Amino acid sequence: MDNFTYYSPTKVLFGKGGEANVGEVIKGYGFRKVLLHYGGGSIKRSGLYGVIMKSLSDAGIAFVELGGVEPNPKLPLVREGIALCKAENVELILAVGGGSVIDSSKAMGMGLMLDGDVWDIYRGLVVPAKTVPVGVVLTISAAGSELSNSSVITNPDGGFKRGHNNDVCRPLFAILNPALTFTVDKFQTACGIVDILMHTIERFFGTPAQTMLSDSFAEGLMRTVIDAGKRVMANPEDYDARGELMWASSLSHNGITGNGRTGDWASHQMEHEISGLFDRVAHGAGLSVVFPAWAKYVCHVDYARFAQFAVNVWGITPGNSDEETAYAGIDAAKAFFKSLGMPTSLTDLEIGADSIKPMAEKAYAWRETMGFFKPLRKPDVVEIYKLAL
């Protein structure tokens, strides 16, 4: 086991109807004014917006609001939110939505503590030591941002998609009601399933430390997501299955599945170049394309680890060699992604070979290697993108 720090202070309020209590929760912390931050308006169509407005009013919480967060949340809206929060003396940012809304809220919360520009955080020039707190009402099971220390923001000026990891941005509380995800469509649900799996897969691979407890959590979470994922795709209103996915989304990215080892994260980094350049590509869809190619390119480094993944996660019967079992596991993952209706090639995403060089160039503009399972240099990444064609 490697040394590690584990810190997941977010208070989770899980269950039916929790969103109607958000005002009382906020009041309990002593906050009096919040920014209500959300996306494209689906919370108005679903009625959630009204429930939250009423809960805030009933609890005597004043608020201003800022909607319009897009997938791959954008820097200009973050800057707009920071200005608004400053002008209105906002004490807490209430993110009502999924990963994009939460990441945008985290960026604002941290940015509010700076004298300089918020993008400096994502450029690695400054590490905020505190934040205006973020609370969450989650509406989609996917990114895990509700418990994570991570925020990813896209700067449209150049198409840069960059992440910042910092314990200060872990949300103060997260209200998780699986019923709020009944209306998430099949494609977004499937993207979420891939995203949840990938957060744990990235942690499962990486450096070769012995981590039996973390492995058992990782494997159990992935088996749960595969099982619940199938049930949710068949019946979008299966509360228990939606619940397993929602809780798995949070635990797949708070650190619990990878303590004691360093995760890999190369698949995420390669995906960031895809959706950074092609804004139409959903994060989960990009991951679904990258992972099988990455796995085939790197598995020779440790077939036994990939065989463990195949047997304990995908239920593969061990073959004649770890190599054979390893490939069977990768094929099973790819087949599962396909069964969800996910793309599994760049071609499926309508991205051609001509985009590979620009993506690889951008990825290596500021780093030497990517990943830990097999540290990848630029030519490796080019090969992986080619495998993904």
Kindly provide the b/e burial profile for residues 127-142, where b requires at least 16 CB atoms within 10 angstroms of the residue's own CB: ebeebbbbbbbbbbbb
Q: Min. distance of Cβ 202 from a second copy in angstroms?
A: 19
**Interaction of residue 2 with a second copy, rule CB under 8 A:** yes
Q: Pick the stretch among 46-54, 71-79, 102-110, 242-250 that binds a second copy (CB under 8 A).
A: 242-250
11 binds a second copy (CB under 8 A): yes
Nearer Cβ to a second copy, position 27 or 223?
223
| Residue 44 makes contact with a second copy by CB under 8 A | no
By the rule CB under 8 A, 335 interacts with a second copy: no
232 near a second copy, judged by CB under 8 A: no
Task: Kindly state whether residue 227 participates in binding a second copy, applying the rule CB under 8 A.
Answer: yes
- Find the Cα–Cα–Cα–Cα dihedral 113, 114, 117, 119, rounded to 10°: -60
Query: Residues touching a second copy: how many (CB under 8 A)?
Result: 40
Distances (CA, A) of 55 to 27, 80, 182, 297, 361: 11, 26, 21, 51, 49
Neighbours of 216 (CB within 10 A): 12
Helix (H, G, I), strand (E, B) or coil at 126: coil
248 binds a second copy (CB under 8 A): yes
Please pick, from the candidates 260, 378, 383, 387, the single residue that binds a second copy as defined by CB under 8 A.
260
Which residue's CB is nearer to a second copy, number 91 or number 219? 219
Of 170, 152, 169, which is closest to residue 161 (Cα–Cα)? Answer: 152
* Token reading at 162: 């960059």
CB atoms within 10 A of CB 318: 13
Q: Which stretch binds a second copy (CB under 8 A): 36-44, 156-164, 209-217, 331-339?
A: 209-217
Q: Given the complex with a second copy, which of 24 and 227 has the nearer CB atom?
A: 227
As given in the structure block, the two tokens for residue 340 are 């969800």
Q: Is residue 75 exposed (0-12), middle (13-18) or buried (19+ Cβ within 10 Å)?
A: buried
Q: How far is residue 191's CA from residue 198's CA, in Å, rounded to a whole number?
A: 11
As measured in angstroms, the least distance from the Cβ of 243 to a second copy is 4
Q: Cβ closer to a second copy: 4 or 187?
A: 4
Asked whether 152 and 105 are in contact (CB, 8 A), the reply is no
Determine the Cα–Cα distance for residues 118 and 128; give it in Å rounded to an integer: 10
* Tokens matching residue 38: 């959300």
Indicate which single residue of 24, 157, 237, 240 sits in contact with a second copy (rule: CB under 8 A): 240
Task: Go through the chain and tell me how many residues it has.
Answer: 389
Binding mask 294-333 for a second copy (x = CB under 8 A): ----------------------------------------
Among 68, 220, 236, 341, binds a second copy (CB under 8 A): 220
Which residue type does 290 have? V
Tell me the C-alpha distance between 269 and 290, whole Å: 10
- Of the candidate spans 7-15, 321-329, 331-339, 368-376, the one that interacts with a second copy by CB under 8 A turns out to be 7-15
Residue 27 interacts with a second copy (CB under 8 A): yes or no: no
**Could you tell me the CA-to-CA distances from 358 to 72, 153, 350, 376, 387 in Å, in that order?**
19, 20, 16, 17, 16
Of the residues 48, 118, 134, 251, which one makes contact with a second copy according to CB under 8 A:
251
Q: How far apart are the first and last CA of the chain?
A: 37
Q: Decide the pairing of beta strands 160-165 and 150-155.
A: antiparallel
- Told to check if 219 binds a second copy by CB under 8 A, we report yes
Q: How far apart are CB 2 and a second copy at their closest, in Å?
A: 7
Binding flag, residue 20, a second copy (CB under 8 A): no
Nearer to a second copy, 87 or 212 (CB): 212
What is the signed CA dihedral for 170, 172, 177, 180, rounded to 10 degrees?
-70
**Residue number with CB closer to a second copy (11 or 300):** 11
Query: Using the rule CB under 8 A, is 244 a contact of a second copy?
Result: yes
Contacts with a second copy by CB under 8 A lie at 1-9, 11-16, 18, 178, 210, 212-213, 215-217, 219-221, 223-224, 227-228, 239-240, 243-244, 247-248, 251, 256, 259-260
